[in-house]
Amino acid sequence: MRTQVAIIGAGPAGLLLSHLLRLAGVESVVLESRSREHCEHRIRAGVLEQGTVDTLNEAGLGARMQREGLVHHGIELLFERKRHRIDLTALTGGRAITVYGQHEVVCDMIAAAVEHQQQLYFDVSEVSLHDLTSDKPWIQFTHDGAVQRIDCDYVAGCDGFHGVARESIPADALQNFERIYPYAWLGILAHAAPTCDELVYAHHERGFALFSMRSPEVTRLYLQCRPDEDLAQWPDERIWAELHARFENDEGWLPAVGDITQKGVTPMRSFVCEPMQYGRLYLAGDAAHIVPPTGAKGMNLAVADVRMLSKALAARYREGRDDLLAAYSATCLERVWRAEHFSYFMTNMLHPSFDDTPFINRLKMAELRYVAHSDAASRMLAENYVGLPFRD
């Protein structure tokens, strides 16, 4: 097999890249280790920045998102028993976020890839990357029991944090930056109508809690928990009791109780590898960086990366220019580090930790009050939350 760009991974990054390349007249093949079913049902992120929505619409992938996505103009911070609204739209000159599940985005992109006869292989195994520093890299993989080879010009490593792409780079060619947080999130999906139109981020002395949603019938909720939390210790009644304790407030607002259809624990990590390139291998999305979910940035960063990578590859094929490819890593890293800082800031401010001294605890409360009450501070949160504009 031969193609121009071999893409490893069919998450949001890999799938969107293959679409953007098709639109630019560049050929690609996507290799995915899991089944189509698995990719389409993996519950993850829910918040799309304005720039992500615009990118999906421009690529012709936004029809169902426009019908079913929920546009939010604000978020709420709940602490000291009170809800404080951050008016995202007023504070950012009209920008908003859209709540639409990552797996829905993935479903839409897979359906469009099938429709446009893009080359997409699911259930591949033993993927290995070769001759990345030559101008003829190649990929070996197993599919349907047969070993296959793809020769290509470029490789896009879109295979997430545990993928093979970053692992294929010699350790001395990369610098890794990492922070592991001493807590995690226990997330549930509940068949219950959302009782608030906007997301509620709650700081409570028992721990952080987040109220989100997926549709007018489905609520998504998270509780701060231990990184090694055992789900068996969390029967549904305990989850609801803990959620209600952490969301307690003077108005009596609470999420509605409903059947819990999914439960999982998400670890909290900040990670960046530099540079996001090695020879003809370009890393994008979670393969290159991880943010804790508190800032809702993970999928949005993946989209920003592949938007840049598709433009750089298009410039290479259409105009014979290499300058955008050469600038790819540095350009992406600027946005990545801004999002890393924002996610770290939101995470620290909203999560009490067992190792917080009373002094640190007072600082977190002071920061929350400042963000809720100061125009400058809430504007800072809003501008980052809706996502900074693309600079291309």
Residues identified as active-site: 72, 201, 293, 297, 385
Provide, rounded to whole angstroms, the least separation between the CB of residue 167 and ligand RFL. 9
- 144 versus 205: smaller Cβ distance to ligand RFL: 144
84, 91, 88: which is closest to 74 by C-alpha? 88
Helix (H) or strand (E) segment spanning residue 378: helix 375-386
Q: Residue 26 or residue 99: which is nearer to ligand RFL going by CB?
A: 99
Contact status, residue 154 vs residue 280, Cβ threshold 8 Å: yes
157 touches ligand RFL by CB under 6 A:
no
Query: Based on CB atoms, which residue is closest to ligand PHB, 9 or 46?
Result: 46
3-state secondary structure at position 281:
strand
All residues at 6 or more sequence positions from 271 whose CB lies less than 8 Å from its CB, including other chains: 161, 176, 177, 178, 179, 289, 290
Residue 356 in contact with residue 364, Cβ under 8 Å?
yes
Residue 199 binding: pick among ligand PHB, ligand RFL, none (C-beta 5-8 Å cut-off by kind): ligand PHB
Q: How far is the CB of 355 from ligand PHB (least distance, A)?
A: 23
- Within a 10 A sphere around the Cβ of 206, how many other Cβ atoms? 13
Quote the Cα angle for 191-194-197, to 5°.
155
Peptide bond into 275 cis (omega under 30): yes
By the rule CB under 6 A, 159 interacts with ligand RFL: yes
Q: Which one of ligand RFL, ligand PHB, none is in contact with 288 (Cβ closer than 5 to 8 A by kind)?
A: none
Subset of 85-144 contacting ligand PHB (CB under 6 A): none
Per the CB < 8 A criterion, the answer to whether 22 and 116 are in contact is: yes
The smaller minimum CB distance to ligand RFL, of residues 79 and 342, is found at 342
Query: CA-CA distance, 194 to 216, in Å (whole number)?
Result: 6
The DSSP element (H or E) to which 155 belongs, if any, is strand 154-157
Q: Which of residues 69-108 bind ligand RFL (CB under 6 A)?
A: 102
- Look at residue 220 and give the partner it binds from ligand RFL, ligand PHB, none, a contact being a CB closer than 5 to 8 Å depending on partner kind: ligand PHB
Q: Is 263 in a helix, a strand, or coil?
A: strand
What sign does the CA torsion over 71, 73, 75, 76 have?
A: negative
Complete edge-to-edge strand list for the sheet that includes strand 119-121 = 119-121, 28-31, 5-8, 154-157, 281-283, 277-278
Q: Taking contact as CB under 6 A, which single stretch among the options 90-98, 160-168, 235-243, 379-387 is the one that binds ligand RFL? A: 160-168
Q: Is 160 in the site for ligand RFL (CB under 6 A)?
A: yes
Which residues from 292-331 bind ligand PHB, rule CB under 6 A? 293-294, 296
How many residues make contact with ligand RFL (CB under 6 A)? 35
Contact 78, 250 (CB under 8 A): no
Please state, in angstroms and rounded to a whole number, the distance separating the CA atoms of residues 94 and 96: 7
Q: Mask 283-302, x = binds ligand RFL (CB under 6 A)?
A: --xx------x--xxxxx-x
**Rounded-to-integer distance, Cα 212 and Cα 356, Å:** 27
Query: Least CB distance from residue 332 to ligand PHB, whole Å?
Result: 21
From residue 256 to residue 275, the character string flagging contacts with ligand RFL as x (rule: CB under 6 A) and all else as - is --------x-x---------
**Residues 195-254 close enough to bind ligand PHB by CB under 6 A:** 199, 212, 220
Nearer to ligand PHB, 213 or 273 (CB): 213
Q: How far apart are CA 49 and CA 88, in angstroms?
A: 11
Regarding 352 and contact with ligand PHB (CB under 6 A), the answer is: no
The answer for residues whose C-beta is within 8 angstroms of residue 197's C-beta and 6 or more apart is 72
Indicate whether 39 belongs to the interface with ligand RFL (CB under 6 A): yes
Contact letters for ligand PHB, residues 26-55 (x by CB under 6 A): -------------------xxx--------
Measure the CA–CA gap between 120 and 238, rounded to whole angstroms: 42
State which residue, 140 or 374, has the beta carbon closest to ligand RFL: 140
Could you tell me the smallest distance in angstroms from the CB atom of residue 80 to ligand RFL? Answer: 25
Residues contributing to the site for ligand PHB (CB under 6 A):
45-47, 199, 212, 220, 293-294, 296
Residues contributing to the site for ligand RFL (CB under 6 A):
8-14, 31-34, 39, 44-47, 102, 124, 127, 158-160, 163-164, 264, 266, 285-286, 293, 296-300, 302
